[in-house]
């Protein structure tokens, strides 16, 4: 019995997606709810799961194709038996050339070891990933059925740094990418490579340009002495982690400080909607995090009502799932204000761009010891530059500076965060 696999609903206002990577190939056995293909939308990458158990009979779209919600992307044979080799290629599943077959065959020899199941073949996606990163599957534990090595297992090992390099012939060979980029030669030893822009990157570029074109953006700066926060963190981090199961970081302090400042300066938490200004009595703060496809901004709903522990757990969870491509579309929608921490990458100073239609974004930067004058004496303190970019159509300079000063005061005297001052 044949079962169609449609493109599921992708969220509000999302009507189409791009086929990112086929996780299963024709002839592969598929379990119920097992991912068979990944899709790229305007906001996040998602996976399409198998509606039934069986065998993938046909792929109806190639990697890179645009597909609409509701379109049939694959067909499954319920109760079918997996074949030892991939089905004959069709127009939608081009056959690799002889050189590619040789490279894939070499890479597949890497999949025989203690931890990777030897009686089950590695999928092409896993094979390519192992070859691209020159990894030994023997050191990666498979979590698939019967211990089969999955793509997620390899990605997890790469992210954690636990993956081991291969020492065999495969180390000298890299398998071709699913959609090879066009390479051109600019001269002896000067190669160029062209890669198709992902849907997510296109959307990021469009939104950033839209912010520049529509908002009257201006940035104001201040610096903050991190001494008090660092001392509080060092004093309580072990107790905090034992009690709540999460490490105490700086982001929870800044998130709470911004939530407090948004109450004092409501225009920074507002937005322009046509001829009206929309003010909010809640703080849904976006936390910019990195993902393989680019920067994404999951939303911390009701951040002003969360505890430090709840804030840290949510931010840590956002970061992990962004790296694994597991964020949900609804988690990326909305938001009244954004915090971006370029300091984790070593940034000293920047002018962040608004995440429209929001009216403000706070940029954090690296902490470094600098000489400052305190009570008439020059001392060395751990200092951080803060940058607030805002829409000058709605927020006056006085309000922007007041907001930034409120954040500075709360960070330099964290007791304010507890007393709501």
Cα–chain center distance at 135: 23
Q: Which residue has the tokens 């706070």?
A: 362
396 annotated active-site: yes
Provide the token pair at 277: 């200004």
Provide the token pair at 396: 């006056």
> Which candidate, 303, 217, 265, 220, places its Cα nearest to that of 403?
265
Residue of 119, 396, 413, 420 marked catalytic = 396
Separation of alpha carbons 58 and 2, rounded Å: 10
> Which candidate, 240, 277, 245, 265, places its Cα nearest to that of 357?
277
Separation of alpha carbons 300 and 336, rounded Å: 10
Separation of alpha carbons 112 and 120, rounded Å: 9
Per the CB < 8 A criterion, the answer to whether 244 and 312 are in contact is yes
Provide the β-strand partners of residue 72. 6
Separation of alpha carbons 368 and 324, rounded Å: 31
392 annotated active-site: yes
Per the CB < 8 A criterion, the answer to whether 351 and 389 are in contact is yes
Separation of alpha carbons 76 and 57, rounded Å: 5
Separation of alpha carbons 242 and 371, rounded Å: 36
In terms of Cβ atoms closer than 10 Å to its own Cβ (0-12, 13-18, 19+), residue 13 is exposed
Residue of 244, 324, 392, 413 marked catalytic = 392
The 3-state secondary structure of 223-253, one letter per residue? EEECHHHHHHHHHHHHHHHHHHCCCCCCHHH
Across 8-93, the runs of DSSP E, i.e. the strands, are 16-22, 29-30, 35-40, 45-49, 54-59, 66-68, 72-78
Per the CB < 8 A criterion, the answer to whether 326 and 352 are in contact is no
Per the CB < 8 A criterion, the answer to whether 231 and 370 are in contact is no
Per the CB < 8 A criterion, the answer to whether 337 and 282 are in contact is no
Note the residue count of the chain: 421
Residues identified as active-site: 392, 396
């Amino acid at each position: 019995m044949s079962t169609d696999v449609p493109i599921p609903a992708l969220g509000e206002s999302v009507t189409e997606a791009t086929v990112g990577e086929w996780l299963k190939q024709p002839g592969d056995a598929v379990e119920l709810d097992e991912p068979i293909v990944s899709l790229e939308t305007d906001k996040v990458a998602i996976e399409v799961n198998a509606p039934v158990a069986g065998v993938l009979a046909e792929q109806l779209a190639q990697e890179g194709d645009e597909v609409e919600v509701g379109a049939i992307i694959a067909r499954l044979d319920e109760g079918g038996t997996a074949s030892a080799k991939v089905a004959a290629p069709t127009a939608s599943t081009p056959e690799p050339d002889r050189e590619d077959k040789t490279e894939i065959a070499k890479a597949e020899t890497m999949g025989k070891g203690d931890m990777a199941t030897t009686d089950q073949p590695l999928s092409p996606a896993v094979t390519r990933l192992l070859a691209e990163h020159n990894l030994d599957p023997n050191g990666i534990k498979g979590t698939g059925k019967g211990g089969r090595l999955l793509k997620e297992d390899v990605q997890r090992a790469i992210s954690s740094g636990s993956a081991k390099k291969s020492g065999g012939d495969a180390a000298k060979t890299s398998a071709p990418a699913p959609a090879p980029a066009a390479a051109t030669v600019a001269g002896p030893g000067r190669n160029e490579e062209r890669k198709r822009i992902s849907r997510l990157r296109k959307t990021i570029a469009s939104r950033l340009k839209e912010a520049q074109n529509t908002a009257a953006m201006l940035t104001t700066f201040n610096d903050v002495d991190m001494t008090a926060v660092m001392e509080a963190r060092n004093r309580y981090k072990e107790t905090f982690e034992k009690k709540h199961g999460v490490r105490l970081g700086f982001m929870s302090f800044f998130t709470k400080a911004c939530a407090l400042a948004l109450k004092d300066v409501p225009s920074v938490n507002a937005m322009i909607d046509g001829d009206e200004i929309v003010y909010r009595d809640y703080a849904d703060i976006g936390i910019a995090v990195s993902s393989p496809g680019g920067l994404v901004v999951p939303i911390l709903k009701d951040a002003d009502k969360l505890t430090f522990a709840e804030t840290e757990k949510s931010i840590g969870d956002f970061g992990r799932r962004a790296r694994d491509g597991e964020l949900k579309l609804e988690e990326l929608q909305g938001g009244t204000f954004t915090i971006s921490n370029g300091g984790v990458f070593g940034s000293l100073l920047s002018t962040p761009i608004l995440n429209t239609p929001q009216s403000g974004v706070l940029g954090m930067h690296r902490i470094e010891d600098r000489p400052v004058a305190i009570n008439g004496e020059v001392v060395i303190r751990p200092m951080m530059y803060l940058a607030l970019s805002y829409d000058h159509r709605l927020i006056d300079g006085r309000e922007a500076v007041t907001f930034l000063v409120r954040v500075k005061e709360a960070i330099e005297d964290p007791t304010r965060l507890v007393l709501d001052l």
